[in-house]
Amino acid sequence: MRTLVVDHAPAVRELIQAILTTDGQTEVLTSESLDDAFRHLAIVDRESGNAAIDLILMDIMMPDMDGISACRRIKAVERLRDIPIIMVTGRTDSEALQTAFAAGAIDYITKPPDTVELRARVSSALAMKREIDVRKAREGELLEKNRQLAQALKEVKVLRGFLPICVYCKKIRDDQGYWHTLEAYITSHSEADFSHGFCPECLNKHFPA
């Protein structure tokens, strides 16, 4: 799994990368600006993203755009909506954190990050992302099975119940008492089409060589 660390301070990026890389539970990519982060996420240019991102650690106080606004922008993109975002901040006032959560962040880590806390929160977020991926994969499989079933039901109608049939001419009587040829009855009660030919027995009987 891949984590994107977005912070304008090189020391913070390097510290988080070192802690998470040593932990070994995630590959770590870094961005020094939100423009660079958006390129990683292929928000600005769909062709610019080079790796799927499973978790974002983002500073609230960024020089080009604050992290909360960036969080809103990321969550506005449907394909990125399930990526957990953890805010990394020196601010612990309730108003800032409440705004961050309202923007779509799931958690926060205070600066400087504590090694144990960072690993625990990242582990929890990645576990949640794995569960989301598994659920979405199952939902995709279910939708595909439902599509196949709907297509099968569309293509096939099953004749059920007893069909009164003449033992001699093989005509079938409908519910109104009218008699129909087998071919006409099946055609009117299903979506089957007939192609005509001769079975070997009839061919030899009616068109002997």
CATH code at position 66: 3.40.50.2300
Looking at residue 205, its pLDDT comes to 80
Q: Is residue 199 part of a domain?
A: yes
Q: Is residue 145 part of a domain?
A: no
Domain identity same for 164 and 133: no
User: Is the per-residue pLDDT at 44 higher than 70?
Assistant: no
Domain identity same for 122 and 156: no
User: Is the per-residue pLDDT at 6 higher than 90?
Assistant: yes
Looking at residue 162, its pLDDT comes to 73
Mean pLDDT confidence for 178-200: 80
More confident residue, 162 or 183: 183
Domain identity same for 190 and 127: no
User: Is the per-residue pLDDT at 50 higher than 60?
Assistant: no
Confidence of residue 55 (pLDDT cuts 50, 70, 90): very high
For 101-160, the pLDDT digits (tens) are: 999 999 999 988 999 999 999 999 999 999 999 999 999 988 888 888 777 666 555 566
Domain with 24 in it: 2-139
Domain boundary among 139, 168, 190: 139
More confident residue, 209 or 38: 38
Domain identity same for 65 and 122: yes
pTM above the 0.85 mark? Answer: no
For 84-99, the pLDDT digits (tens) are: 999 998 877 788 889 9
Mean pLDDT confidence for 3-10: 94
Domain identity same for 130 and 156: no
Looking at residue 70, its pLDDT comes to 93
Q: Is residue 18 part of a domain?
A: yes
Domain identity same for 169 and 116: no
Mean pLDDT (the chain, rounded) = 86
**CA–CA separation, 75 and 199 (whole Å):** 65
Confidence of residue 52 (pLDDT cuts 50, 70, 90): confident
Domain identity same for 98 and 173: no
Total domains in the chain come to 2
Phi then psi for residue 188, to 5 deg, are -80, -20
Domain identity same for 49 and 103: yes
Q: Is residue 144 part of a domain?
A: no
Domain identity same for 180 and 93: no
Domain identity same for 10 and 69: yes
Domain identity same for 155 and 132: no
